[in-house]
Structure 1
Amino acid sequence: MMNRQMTKRLTATAALALGMAGLGVATAGEASAAQACESWTTLKRYDTGAGVTELQKRLAGWVEYDDIMLVDGSYGPQTQKAVARFQKAYGITVTAQESGQAGTATIAKLRSLTDSDCTPINFTYAEVSKNCGKGFTGSASVKENLRRSMWQAQALRRQLGDKPLNVTSGFRDSACNSASGGSSDSQHLTGRALDLVPTSGLTYCNIARQARYAGYGGIKGPGYPGHSNHVHVDYWDANTWKAPECGI
């Protein structure tokens, strides 16, 4: 039996093939599973609308150091720089004029990283919303926040050499948050936060340090009380980095 990782990779490969075959605006019957949440052709500076909003969510982990993506549906300098960083990270060949534009190759790569529910291929709603065994119980807006959280984790994963990251806690409802010792204003309640644990070849400090380059304003790790066995990351607060054993 194929495991979940292999199934997701096969889904992504099929999506890439479809995306390369025709990148025009898709109808419901023509859209691949990976295109279900967008109908991109190309996107560039000064474009606006839902397509840009979706692009910003998927590239929220590719902003510059100590920056947080503004998801406003307007393709400005921040989005352009995030696209350029994504292109560089995946070795996407573009001309100097095309750098920072979401053209055919960039969109095809994004689709290859997209699962059938518009989440990234290496993370699932199930693993980021264990919620004390209850699964996801939040609102649609919280679920959308959680999807962005997964895309940022996908970017962080790539930046760490494509080494897997384990999610020990993501979305929590108020009861689960209280039972977990979370604060009343915890970003786990909003879907904006994940607790990450390294796998072989990574350390907690690897995660905490690199998260500064992946659009996370909130980082808590080794040396901060209660965070010796995971790294908390969220995209809500601006530069509240607290991992003193990692030098941040």
Structure 2
Amino acid sequence: MLRKALNTSLTLVMISTGAIAGVTVTAGSAQAASNCGQPITGLPLDQGSQGTSVERLQIRVAGFVTSGEVLSTDGVYGTRTKEAVRKFQKQYGLQADGIAGSDTVNKIYSLQDSDCTPIHFSYAEWNKCNSTWAGGAVSATAAKANARKSMWKLEALRAKLGGGAVQISSGFRSNSCNAAVGGVTGSRHTYGDAADMPGSQSRRCDVHRAAKSSGFTEVLGQGFPGHNDHTHVGMTSSRQWHGCQG
């Protein structure tokens, strides 16, 4: 309530002085408060909580894990979810108690757009192949859902690297798009959960290392055949980490 009161007071002051910037403050506050139609309710959520709200929370903190860990999005608030929430809170300067209260959820809301993707990534950037998301290894609905989950992991990765831009050169591919660019059969790109990121060698290797603690099981980079100009992340049933050693 204090934050809301301060934002309201600031807007009123700027309007009274005729500053157009007051409109910007109002719009920014509204966007930050958006739950994108998928509210996280029943707060506070803590160990033992279950349900849709826990699953929505898990998707958004799944990039805050230990190296090699993959957080389940099963709707059950266990010890691993609590630890992921704690790491999320620590990253963003909140009280790191592992309990998802209003401060934690409001921070999540401030990091997402109206379509539930994180603010620094988009469906349009992820899918430059087929706007219908069809023709891949899974249904269009599943591919889009997989993409959104991976975007949230990359949002965590981006924060861990200091907030610098992370560019996506290739995300979802239909089977035909994948074949056209020479992708391997069964590529995770056709499932929607993979992304390629270009950049300088040092930056690519920073991304490579951070991806290992951001919930990705497939991390391929510098030194791995075909990956000397980008870092690839995706989800596989077994760990596949190659390149950028050290």
**Equivalent position amino acid for 1:47 in 2:** S
- Partners of 1:12 and 1:76 lie apart in 2 by 34
- Partners of 1:43 and 1:12 lie apart in 2 by 26
Over residues 48-90 of structure 1, what are the superposed CA-to-partner deviations in whole Å (9 max), with x where a residue is unaligned? 1111111111111111111112111111111111000000101
Question: Which residue of structure 2 aligns with residue 220 of structure 1?
Answer: 220
Offset at residue 229 of structure 1 (A): 1.0
Within-5 A mapping of 1:117-196: 117-131=115-129, 134-138=130-134, 139-196=140-197
- Partners of 1:66 and 1:140 lie apart in 2 by 27
Give aligned-pair identity as a percent.
Answer: 38
Question: Which residue of structure 2 aligns with residue 43 of structure 1?
Answer: 45
**Equivalent position amino acid for 1:156 in 2:** L
Could you tell me whether the CA contact under 8 Å between 1:42 and 1:104 is conserved in 2? yes
Could you tell me whether the CA contact under 8 Å between 1:156 and 1:211 is conserved in 2? yes
Q: Which runs of 5+ in 1 are unaligned?
A: 1-8, 19-31
- Partners of 1:10 and 1:188 lie apart in 2 by 39
SS at match of 2:198: strand
Match of residue 115, structure 1, among 108, 113, 116: 113
Aligned-residue Cα RMSD (Å) equals 2.0
TM-aligned CA distance change 1:14 to 1:237, over 3 Å: same
Give the TM-score normalised by structure 1: 0.81
Offset at residue 136 of structure 1 (A): 4.1
Give the TM-score normalised by structure 2: 0.82
Q: Which runs of 5+ in 2 are unaligned?
A: 1-24, 135-139
**Equivalent position amino acid for 1:172 in 2:** R
- Partners of 2:71 and 2:176 lie apart in 1 by 30
Question: Which residue of structure 1 aligns with residue 11 of structure 2?
Answer: none
Q: Which has the larger radius of gyration?
A: 2
Over residues 120-142 of structure 1, what are the superposed CA-to-partner deviations in whole Å (9 max), with x where a residue is unaligned? 000010000111xx334231111
Over residues 167-196 of structure 1, what are the superposed CA-to-partner deviations in whole Å (9 max), with x where a residue is unaligned? 001100000011111122111111111111
- Partners of 2:82 and 2:147 lie apart in 1 by 23
